[in-house]
Amino acid sequence: MKIAIDVRDADGEKTGKGFFTFGLVKAMLAQDPFNQYLLYSDKPENPFPKQDNITFRYLDKHGLKWHLATLKDLKIERPDLYLAPTSFIIPALAPRWLRVALVVHDLVAFLFPRNHSKKAVFVERLTLRNALRKASKVFVVSENTQNDLITLFNYPKSQTVEIPCAPHDSYFDEVNPIDSEKVGKKFNLPEKFILGVGTLEPRKNFANLIKSFIIVKRKYPEYKLVIGGKKGWKYQELEQLVKQHHLEQDVLFLGYVKDEDLHHLYNLAEVFVFPSLYEGFGIPPLEAMASGCPVIASNTSSLPEVVGDAGLLIDPRNSVKIADGIISLIENQQLRNMLVERGVHRSRKFTWDESAQKALDEIQKLLPEKTSLSQSAASTESKKDLES
């Protein structure tokens, strides 16, 4: 069988959808050496380990031209299934013969259009409804997204399957203090800081985090606020807010931070705060918990089901409540220790291996063979063991 996947976002400076694509597809490929995979990208480098059953297809086009070129190639290759983990365009345009599974991460374009880029809102509103109509299966990253999909589109729950995100395994590694010191010097980090991570855009609600930091700083002037994440739309508003309150020496914008450095940042931070207004899932809180950093997160959308009782849940629209949470974790060592312990334990419940196995099982139900991919893998490994 031949399975085609859009892996454009799995390479380069990844954000939520990119981390999902990379983590899920890498684990799927590791578990399934039997079926043939066509990996489509607009970047020349294959981000996945080489395997005999993988064909990496680089199409040197972008935007709509890339999607049209991919559709043309799919017509030639005739895969049994096309998996769309980040975009609804090809599923929406898919011909009848092409079986499609798509991933819905969130419904922000429909629920919070003012907090989303106009281009993304336009494209998603134009394509999602038709993509859902054509899809054989819809993967959702959280129960919250599933509920949003049912509420907004009256989409049958039986057609959806929850495939959660997970932190990368490296976040569970014990950090080397010498390496952490190097990362601290690399970013010129202060001794004591509060950390936020995410793309600089309105939905991530960093403006309220900055306002809460002003309150914290009155009581604890030695603390700084560090925010890691690439510039998104309307990022200038954050820079203006910092200047307005004369916080240029107290709020540090690091830009995009790679995984290997981010693990150290979580470990060095006193508190991690994720005040997002809406998330389909929210990977950074899991990364922070896996790294041993106490977490404060919003009590909205999917975040309560991700964080559970392993972090403080606050109203993201109330900067005073955010500040109260930060101060409580600065002052209460017992609370910090409890959340760190709970956080490590909870973050281990989310793994890409489990999500990949679930995805493969669901994909198998859409394909003609009867033996499940995971069972086939197990059977082959058993045969190898017997032969050896």
User: 277 with 248: CB under 8 angstroms?
Assistant: no
* pLDDT tens, residue by residue, 64-73: 999 999 999 9
How far, in Å, CA of 239 to CA of 205, rounded?
13
| Mean pLDDT, residues 295-307 | 97
pLDDT of 369 reads 58
**Distance in angstroms between the alpha carbons of the first and the last residue of the chain:** 28
Q: Which two tokens stand for residue 258?
A: 């790679």
Q: Which two tokens stand for residue 290?
A: 């896996």
As given in the structure block, the two tokens for residue 234 are: 């309307």
Tokens for 257, please give them.
């931070």
Residue 380 pLDDT: 40
Q: Which pLDDT value is given to residue 116? A: 81
- Single-letter code of the amino acid located at 162: E
Query: What is the rounded CA–CA span in Å between residue 128 and residue 152?
Result: 11
**According to the model, what pLDDT value does residue 312 have?**
98
Q: Does an H or E element contain 190, and which?
A: none
Quick: pLDDT tens for 201-228: 999 999 999 999 999 999 999 999 999 9
The 10s digit of each residue's pLDDT in 69-95 is 999 999 999 999 999 999 999 999 999
| pTM above threshold 0.75 | yes
| pLDDT, position 115 | 80
Structural domains in the chain, CATH included, are 2-166+351-387 (3.40.50.2000), 169-347 (3.40.50.2000)
pLDDT in tens, 150-187: 999 999 999 999 999 999 999 999 999 999 999 999 99
Q: What mean pLDDT do residues 287-303 have?
A: 97
Write the pLDDT tens digit of every residue in 221-258. Answer: 999 999 999 998 889 999 999 999 999 999 999 999 99
Share of the chain above pLDDT 70, in %: 95
Residue 214 near residue 221 (C-beta atoms within 8 A): no
pLDDT tens profile 123-156: 999 999 999 999 999 999 999 999 999 999 999 9
Residue closest to 171 by CA, chosen among 44, 21, 293: 293
Backbone angles phi, psi at 174, to 5 degrees: -70, 135
pLDDT at position 355: 98
pLDDT digits (tens, 9 = 90+) for 30-69: 999 999 999 999 999 999 999 999 999 999 999 999 999 9
Q: Which residues contact 235 (CB under 8 A, 6 or more apart)?
A: 200, 201
pLDDT of residue 98: 96
Dump pLDDT digits (tens) for 97-131: 999 999 999 999 999 988 888 899 999 999 999 99
Residue 332 CB partners (closer than 8 Å, separation 6+): none
pLDDT score, position 374: 46
How far is residue 209 from each of residues 196, 197, 206, 314, 320, measured CA to CA in Å? 8, 11, 5, 12, 10
pLDDT at 5 over 50: yes
3-state helix, strand, coil in the chain (%, to 5): 50, 15, 35
The H-assigned helical ranges of 94-193 are 108-111, 118-134, 143-153, 177-186
Adjacent-strand bridge partners of 227? 196, 253
Q: What is residue 12's predicted lDDT score, i.e. its pLDDT?
A: 87
pLDDT of residue 339: 98
